[in-house]
Structure 1
Amino acid sequence: MDVGIIGMGKMGRGMAASLARAGHTVRAWNRSPEGAQGIPGVTPVATAAEAFAGDAAITMLADDAALEAVVVEGGLLDGGGRPSVHLGMSTVSVALAERLTAIHGRAGIPYVSAPVFGRPDVAEAGKLNIVAAGPAEAIDGAAPVLDAMGAKTWRYGEDAKRANAVKLAGNFMIVAAIEAMGEACALSESHGVPGAEFLDLVMNTIFAAPIYKNYGGAIAASRYDPPGFGLSLGAKDVRLALQAAEGAGVPMPVASVLRDNLIEAIAHGDGAKDLAALAEVSRRRSRRG
């Protein structure tokens, strides 16, 4: 299939590589042109409009503001490019998903929300878990593209915002797991048990799950650079989860605590580090006084 990708950060580059490896024709655009270069089988293009065409156009941008700036304010829906489907794979707000569904409907371009679970190495391997919601026929038509990037596509109906709600709920759980590990390490360390030894136990017994093993390993080694998923992006996702919860009348007291701790981590200078650096908030607090 003929695929265009807009947004070539670490995740976008991995996804583009997976698509090219599967035999798809891939065009890529990035606001910083060098981001779209040097990927075997992927052709860099000069404008976002050149990527917003073909059998599927993918957006993988950092946040709501970036997606709106490129797609809406950039006039992609008003231009000559008419992709068969727009796959919005960024982690963005439920409110923006609703807005994009409406404006794509007016433009006559099918819109599918398809955010992903997985870090850059998983994207590179084509093993992402993709959460998709939108017109069933559009998802069916994009299946070869989705299958090239993911181990499985999890479908949540025709209302695109459902996929974004699922993604934000999942990311909230990831951040909560890191916070729990950080607090538990601070407790064990305060009684003379190294955090790495405590985590070795729980990661191989009661919490032998990928999230605990991946982030727990980083916490145990204090390995926060280079980031696989930045702490500032985690803060953005928790904020979006709280916004979605408020709009639906859903209290999320733990998410409120996570937001405050993430703000503290960013204020301490950890925003550009891996999300696992959130664990250092509890460690620093336990050393006070």
Structure 2
Amino acid sequence: MKVGFIGLGHMGLGMAANLLKGGHDVTVYNRTRTKVEALIAQGAKGAASVADACRGEAVITMLADDGAVESVVFSDGGVIGSLPAGALHISSSTISVALSERLEAAHAKAGQRFVAAPVFGRPDAAAAGQLFVVAAGAADALRASAPLLDAIGQKTFIVSDAPKAGNLVKLSGNFLIASVIEAVGEAMALIGKAGVDRRQYLEILTSTLFDAPVYKTYGALIADGKFEPAGFAAPLGQKDIRLTLAAAEDLRVPMPLASLLRDRFLTLLAHGGDKLDWSAIGQLAAKDAGETTS
């Protein structure tokens, strides 16, 4: 397919590269030109503007937050004004439910199609084409998006014909990951202060009760205190919990743990953690306990 890709950050760079490997005709746009040039070397075409990336059958956006998506989609020369009628916008960004609803309505009014397709996985999974995709949208739009989603992920889960449901599933998943990070951090603070080796403790946990990638990946980062470079930066984690709570408020679903996580992220950011991986909230319990962690 002839597809544009907008947003070559930690995740987008690998995703766009895998579209090229999948044989698609890819045009890329990013504010940082060096990332565009890296993909041009792999066979992509460079776009001078957002509009230039919207000339094909589809465009994929992978951007940091609601503000970035709104700027790219609704501005003069943006996606809405540039994408041909009948063409497809796939949003892989982790955005609010409210913005997803707005995007669906705006694309329908413009005669375009919209699919929400946020992904689970860190940058290494994006580079390897091993993301898990959560897709939602009209049946015809989902069929059209399938070859592109197959190129970036190992499996696509179709959850609804309403795009906002895909975004809600993604937010709820990130809430659960953050919950694991906090719980592991508290447990490690407890055993660490008693003199138990954190790495050995992690091996025990992941060899018995918690043999899952989320515990292995984030447990290792917490045990080693390795929060830079950030695979997923702390401000993005804070944003996702904030959006989860906004969705919960609209649906009148109390989420006490999410409220705790919001405060944990705010604590981390208040102490200068903006450049750290979001797993750095897992070190807060040890600091609260008076531990010195490496």
Q: Tell me, yes or no, whether TM beats 0.5.
A: yes
What is the total number of aligned residue pairs between the two structures? 288
Aligned to 2:228: 225
Task: Detail structure 1 runs of 4+ shifted over 4 Å in the superposition.
Answer: 80-83
The residue type paired with residue 275 of structure 2 is A
Structure 1 stretch 252-261 or stretch 39-48: which is displaced more? 39-48
CA deviations over 1:152-193 (Å, ceiling 9, x no partner): 110012101000000000000000000000000011112121
Q: Does 1:237 align with 2:235?
A: no
Aligned to 2:259: 256
2: CA distance between counterparts of 1:203 and 1:195? 12
Q: Is the 8 A contact 2:86 2:111 kept in 1?
A: no
2: CA distance between counterparts of 1:108 and 1:125? 34
2: CA distance between counterparts of 1:279 and 1:169? 19
Aligned to 2:127: 124
1: CA distance between counterparts of 2:79 and 2:203? 49
Q: Is the 8 A contact 2:55 2:84 kept in 1?
A: yes
Aligned to 2:108: 105
2: CA distance between counterparts of 1:283 and 1:41? 48
Q: Is the 8 A contact 1:112 1:138 kept in 2?
A: yes
Aligned to 1:60: 62
Q: Does 1:188 align with 2:170?
A: no
User: CA shift at 1:222, angstroms?
Assistant: 1.1
Q: How has the CA–CA distance of structure 1 residues 36 and 109 changed in structure 2, closer, same or farther, with 3 Å as cutoff?
A: same
For residue 46 of structure 1, the aligned residue among 45, 48, 52 is 48
Aligned to 2:164: 161
Q: Is the 8 A contact 1:56 1:83 kept in 2?
A: no
User: CA shift at 1:194, angstroms?
Assistant: 2.5
Q: Is the 8 A contact 2:4 2:55 kept in 1?
A: yes
Structure 1 stretch 189-198 or stretch 229-238: which is displaced more? 189-198
Aligned to 1:10: 10
The residue type paired with residue 5 of structure 2 is I
CA deviations over 1:86-139 (Å, ceiling 9, x no partner): 001100000000011111110010000000001111111111100000011111
1: CA distance between counterparts of 2:86 and 2:220? 41
Aligned to 1:211: 214
2: CA distance between counterparts of 1:76 and 1:149? 21
User: CA shift at 1:82, angstroms?
Assistant: 4.6
Aligned-pair Cα RMSD in Å:
1.3
Q: How has the CA–CA distance of structure 1 residues 204 and 254 changed in structure 2, closer, same or farther, with 3 Å as cutoff?
A: same
Q: Is the 8 A contact 1:54 1:83 kept in 2?
A: no
Aligned to 1:77: 80
User: CA shift at 1:81, angstroms?
Assistant: 4.2
For residue 96 of structure 2, the aligned residue among 85, 93, 96 is 93
Q: Does 1:172 align with 2:178?
A: no
For 1:182, what is the secondary structure of its paired residue? helix
Q: Is the 8 A contact 1:239 1:259 kept in 2?
A: yes
The runs of 5 or more residues in structure 1 that have no matched partner are: none
For 2:137, what is the secondary structure of its paired residue? coil
Structure 1 stretch 275-284 or stretch 104-113: which is displaced more? 275-284
Q: Does 1:144 align with 2:147?
A: yes
Per the normalisation by structure 2, the TM-score is 0.95
Aligned-residue identity in percent? 47
1: CA distance between counterparts of 2:199 and 2:74? 47
Q: Is the 8 A contact 1:52 1:83 kept in 2?
A: no
Structure 1 stretch 36-45 or stretch 208-217: which is displaced more? 36-45
Q: How has the CA–CA distance of structure 1 residues 83 and 219 changed in structure 2, closer, same or farther, with 3 Å as cutoff?
A: farther
Q: Is the 8 A contact 1:136 1:157 kept in 2?
A: no
CA deviations over 1:200-236 (Å, ceiling 9, x no partner): 2112211110111111111111111111111111111
